[in-house]
Amino acid sequence: MPKQIHIRLDDRIHLSLLEYSRVTGKTIQDCITDALVQSFDDKYREKRRGTAKFTFIDLFAGIGGMRLAFEANGGQCVFSCEWDRYCQKTYFDNFGVMPYGDIRKIYEKDIPNHDILVAGFPCQPFSIAGVSKKNSLGRATGFLDKTQGTLFFEVVRILNEKRPRAFLLENVKNLKSHDKGRTWKIIMESLEKLDYEVFTDILDGQMFVPQHRERVFIVGFDRKRYGNDVTFDFNLQKPKNEPVLSNILEKRVDRKYTLSDHLWKYLQEYATKQKAKGNGFGYGLVDKKGITRTLSARYYKDGSEILIPQEGENPRRLTPRECARLQGYSDEYAITVSDTQAYKQFGNSVVVPLVTAVANMIVEKMEDMKEIDIRRENIG
């Protein structure tokens, strides 16, 4: 539950706060909360000052998987945003920074300048009602109109205001077919109209972790800085050793993760019924020498998509730490929430080493184009 505090402000600060609230459209409470969050962020950045190769912001941050990836490549995070309070706790416990809350309440001009925007935005359908109405009235529609009301709009308005050198967006594979392909079309059109050179690919996390996990990655570079001749590909270097599930399993596991007789019987009967109907739905009993299905946020319910066989007893779920490893998090990463929340968080997370590899290619490309960037800045 949110906690309440009472503070005293002198007249000068109060008047300034009222004016800022009016300009940004935020409540006084939100303004004060943002100021406190900013103070935490400033303290963290002070420790890293002067050591970073580039700066980035972390939108729809979750538990910081993208942040870990870009920090591993020498970046400094100057702003983060995540609305889920349990994810905020995990983020704070691992990075010492409290992310801002609702991105829709963030005034884009307040976001620090940065080199790379990073976001794993949720997938939503786009409404054409507003655009149709404007067309019927003979009014022009801009690229912001088509995305208004969606969370992707928040990414667009920040890109439009801050114009970072590059961006990385990540989403589920089905984003490309979502809403009969219309969502993808609008996203590509919006990024194109922002004047970014855009590259996309679907990458599978099993190159780096023992999990089949396909995600779409969207990378963009600012044409106003780098011109129209930017090239980029997702040619990842495959690790020498293929990931194997047995390498991430804990040696001693609490019996609470073993399925009860009731649940195990239910899953078996359900799978039998589905098979009889010609469906492939059912539990996933994995081969320890292989890889798993995709870990999902619903894993906390019954763990059915990834079950570990146990000799002489019912199979078991993965532990939260094993889920963290399955997503490429190191054992130094702190898990400070309940099992239920941890399963949700890791199920929604990115494969950290995969994003680290993509981030490395983005940073290297920016380094390659540094002279073009400097030349254009001098001309400007």
Q: Are residues 249 and 373 in the same domain?
A: no
Q: Are residues 209 and 251 in the same domain?
A: no
Statement: the pTM of the whole predicted model exceeds 0.95: no
Q: Is 128 domain-assigned? A: yes
Decide: 341 and 53 in contact? Cβ < 8 Å.
no
Domain of 207 in residue numbering reads as 51-239+354-379
Decide: 96 and 40 in contact? Cβ < 8 Å.
yes
89-116: pLDDT as tens digits: 999 999 999 999 999 999 999 999 999 9
Length of the chain: 380
Q: In what side-by-side order are the strands of the sheet with 214-222?
A: 75-80, 54-59, 116-119, 166-172, 214-222, 196-204
Q: Are residues 58 and 73 in the same domain?
A: yes
DSSP letter at 201 equals: E
Q: Which pairing describes strands 116-119 and 196-204: parallel, antiparallel, or unpaired?
A: unpaired
Coarse DSSP helix, strand, coil percentages of the chain, rounded to the nearest 5 percent: 50, 15, 40
Q: Is 306 domain-assigned? A: yes
pLDDT band at 9 (very low <50, low <70, confident <90, very high): low
Decide: 146 and 131 in contact? Cβ < 8 Å.
yes
What confidence score (pLDDT) does residue 7 get? 75
Listed residue (233, 113, 208) closest to 164, CA to CA: 113
Total number of domains in the chain: 2
Q: Are residues 233 and 254 in the same domain?
A: no
Q: Reduced to 3 states, what is the DSSP secondary structure of residue 302?
A: helix
* Active-site residue set: 123
Decide: 105 and 30 in contact? Cβ < 8 Å.
yes
Decide: 283 and 307 in contact? Cβ < 8 Å.
yes
CATH of the domain at 95: 3.40.50.150
Q: Is 98 domain-assigned? A: yes
| Strand-pair partners of 197 | 221
271-316: pLDDT as tens digits: 888 787 777 667 889 999 999 999 999 999 999 999 999 999 999 9
Please report how many Cα atoms fall inside a 13 Å half-sphere around the Cα of residue 353, on the Cβ side.
Answer: 21
Whether the pLDDT of residue 217 is over 70: the answer is: yes
